[in-house]
Structure 1
Amino acid sequence: MERPIALITGATSGIGAEFAQQLGRSQHDLVLVARDVDRLEAKAVRLRTDFGVEVEILSADLVTDSGVASVCARLAEPARPVTVLVNNAGFSLVGAFERNTIDEEAAHLRILAQTPMELTHAVLPLMLARGKGQIINIASVSAFIPRGTYGAAKSWLVSFSRFANLRYGPKGVKVTAVCPGFVHTEFHERMGANMGGVRSWMWLNADQVVREGLADNAAGKAVSIPSRRYATLMALSRLVPDRLAAAAGNRGR
C-alpha cells in the first residue's frame, strides 16, 4: 500500500519542521518546501533515517510567481498525489505599517494569504476527485485581535479556512486554520523582534501546536487554537476593548 504524501512549506525549522517530524513518524512520505537547499537536504536525510519514509525536497521562494508555480505544479501531479498540505511558510514585519515600504507589505501579504490560497487551489482538484484530503493553514491568535497587517492577513486565512472547511469538508477534504500564540521557534529571532515582554507562561512548544492542530483537523474543526490557555485568552479577548487586546498582542515587537 502506498504511503500518504504530505507537502509542507517552510519545512526546515519551527512549526514546519515539527509537522515534518510528526507526519514522518506517522509514515507519511514527505515533500519539504523551503528556500535553503542545504537545510532541506539535511532535514531530508534525518527524516529518511529516522522514519524510513521517502522525502522529496523542493527549493522555492514563495514570495515569487515562479516559486509558487513550482509548488503548484507538484501539488497538481496525479502520479504521486499530495494528501496533506501544510501551508506554514511565512514571516512578519517588525516595523510599523507606515514605516514599511509598500513592496515589503506586498511580499508580506503574498506569503501569508495569497500563496496559501494558490497552493490550496492547486491541490483541491485531486483531493476532491479522491474524496479525501487534509489542508492545514498556519494562522495565529493575531487573527483575532488588532495586530497590524500580520493579524489582518492571518484573519483572512482563518476566514478562508472556515469557508473552505464548510464547503469541502462534507466532500472529504478537511481544512483547518491552526492559530498558535507565541511558540518556541526561530520565527521571532529571524524577524528581529525583542521578546523580553513575553511572560514565560505564554510560550508554547511546537510539538504541542502540531499535535493539537493535526487532531483538530482529523476531527473536522475549521479553527484550532492550541492549548487551553490561549483558547481562554481568545474567548476573553472578545469582551475587552480593541486597544487592550492590541496592547497584549503587541508584546514582542
Structure 2
Amino acid sequence: MGKLSGRTALVTGSSRGIGRATAVSLAREGALVAVHYAHNEQAAQETVGLIEKDGGRAFTVHAELGVPGDIDQLFHGLEAGLKQHTGQIALDILVNNAGETLATGTPPEEISVEQYDRLFAVNAKAPFFITQRALGLLTDGGRVINISSGLTRVANPSQAVYAMTKGALEQLTLHFARHLAPRGITINTVTPGLTDNGHDVFKIPEVREQMARQSAFNRLGEPEDIARVVTFIASEEAGWTTGASFDATGGGLLG
C-alpha cells in the first residue's frame, strides 16, 4: 500500500518533463492520476502507459489553457474521469504544473503584448481559476502544489515576464494558504532550478556543462528530482506545512 493509496490527483501539463515524472511518482504511491495535456495526446497516453506498466491507475484529460472555456473543458474531463474510475467526484491533490516560457535570449524590449498576455494567461490566470474551481472537489485535508521557478530568485532579463508569472503563482500559494487552512488543505510551492525536460538545448554538451555548474551538486536536475519533492508534499508527512516554498534547485540559489 502506497502512502497515497485511495487518493486522486490532477497534474496539469503532465504529458512530459516534470509533470510526467510527478504523475508517475504520485501513481506509484497509489494515487489515481488525471494526466492533463494541451496538445500532445500521444505523449499523455505514454504517461498513462508508464503508470499502468507500474501497476498504477491514470486517465487523460484534455484542455488547452489560456483560452476561453479552458477551465470548463478541463473540469468536465476531470469529473467524468473521476466518476468513471471511482464512482464519485472528489479530488485530493492538485498540482499546478502546466506553464509556458519564452524563447531563450528574447530581450525585454522585444516582448510583445500578445506574448505577455499569453504567459500570464497560462502561468498565472489558469492556475488561479483551476484552484478556485477545484475547491468544490477538494477533500478536507487535501493538497495543492504549485510549480514555480528559480527564476523568481535570480535575474535573467530574457525571462523577466516568465519570472513575473511565477511570482504571481507564489502569491497564490501564500494567500490561499490562509484561506484553505480551516479545511486542513495545504498549499505549497516547489521551486525547480535548471531541470532537463527533454528540450533540445539540454542535448548540447557544452550547454549542459555550463548549466550543471549552477547547481551545488554540479549536475542538471532531473524531472524525478522535482517529482520526489512534490510527492512528499502530497503525503501526510507534510501536513503541518503550508504557504511555504520548497527549494528544489539542487543548491542553485546558494550563490
Counterpart of 2:24 (choices 21, 26, 30) is 21
Counterpart of 2:13 (choices 10, 13, 18) is 10
Q: Look up the SS of the partner of 1:80 in the other structure.
A: coil
**Cα RMSD after superposing both structures:** 2.6
Check the 8 A contact 1:14/1:187 in 2, yes or no: no
CA distance in 2, matches of 1:99, 1:119: 30
Structure 1 gaps, min length 5: 234-253
Residue of structure 1 equivalent to 2:54: 50
Aligned-residue offset at 1:75: 5.4
Residue of structure 1 equivalent to 2:224: 207
Q: Which letter does structure 1 place at the counterpart of 2:143?
A: Q
Q: Does 1:72 align with 2:75?
A: yes
Residue of structure 2 equivalent to 1:251: none
Summarize the Cα distance change of 1:45–1:214 in structure 2 as closer, same or farther, 3 Å threshold.
closer
Residue of structure 1 equivalent to 2:151: 142
Counterpart of 1:198 (choices 211, 216, 236) is 211
Aligned-residue offset at 1:32: 0.7
Counterpart of 1:168 (choices 180, 184, 206) is 180
Residue of structure 2 equivalent to 1:240: none
Q: Does 1:225 align with 2:234?
A: no
Counterpart of 1:133 (choices 142, 153, 172) is 142
Summarize the Cα distance change of 1:74–1:135 in structure 2 as closer, same or farther, 3 Å threshold.
farther
Aligned-residue offset at 1:146: 4.0
Q: Does 1:152 align with 2:159?
A: no
Aligned-residue offset at 1:208: 1.7
Q: Which letter does structure 1 place at the counterpart of 2:18?
A: I
Structure 2 gaps, min length 5: none
So what's the TM-score if we normalise by structure 2? 0.79
Check the 8 A contact 2:194/2:249 in 1, yes or no: no
Counterpart of 1:123 (choices 130, 134, 140) is 134
Summarize the Cα distance change of 1:62–1:159 in structure 2 as closer, same or farther, 3 Å threshold.
same
Aligned-residue offset at 1:207: 1.5
Residue of structure 2 equivalent to 1:63: 66
Q: Which letter does structure 1 place at the counterpart of 2:190?
A: V
Q: Which letter does structure 2 place at the counterpart of 1:86?
A: V
Aligned-residue offset at 1:187: 5.2
So what's the TM-score if we normalise by structure 1? 0.80
Aligned-residue offset at 1:30: 1.1
Aligned-residue offset at 1:195: 4.2
Q: Could you list the runs of 4 or more consecutive aligned residues of structure 1 that deviate by over 6 angstroms after TM superposition?
A: none
Q: Does 1:105 align with 2:109?
A: no
Aligned residues: 227
Summarize the Cα distance change of 1:42–1:136 in structure 2 as closer, same or farther, 3 Å threshold.
same
Summarize the Cα distance change of 1:38–1:163 in structure 2 as closer, same or farther, 3 Å threshold.
same
CA distance in 2, matches of 1:188, 1:114: 28
Aligned-residue offset at 1:199: 3.6
Q: Which letter does structure 2 place at the counterpart of 1:185?
A: N
Summarize the Cα distance change of 1:82–1:178 in structure 2 as closer, same or farther, 3 Å threshold.
same
For 1:100-157, what per-residue CA distance to the aligned partner results, in whole angstroms no more than 9, with x for missing partners? 3211221111111001001000111232xx3221111110111223441111111111
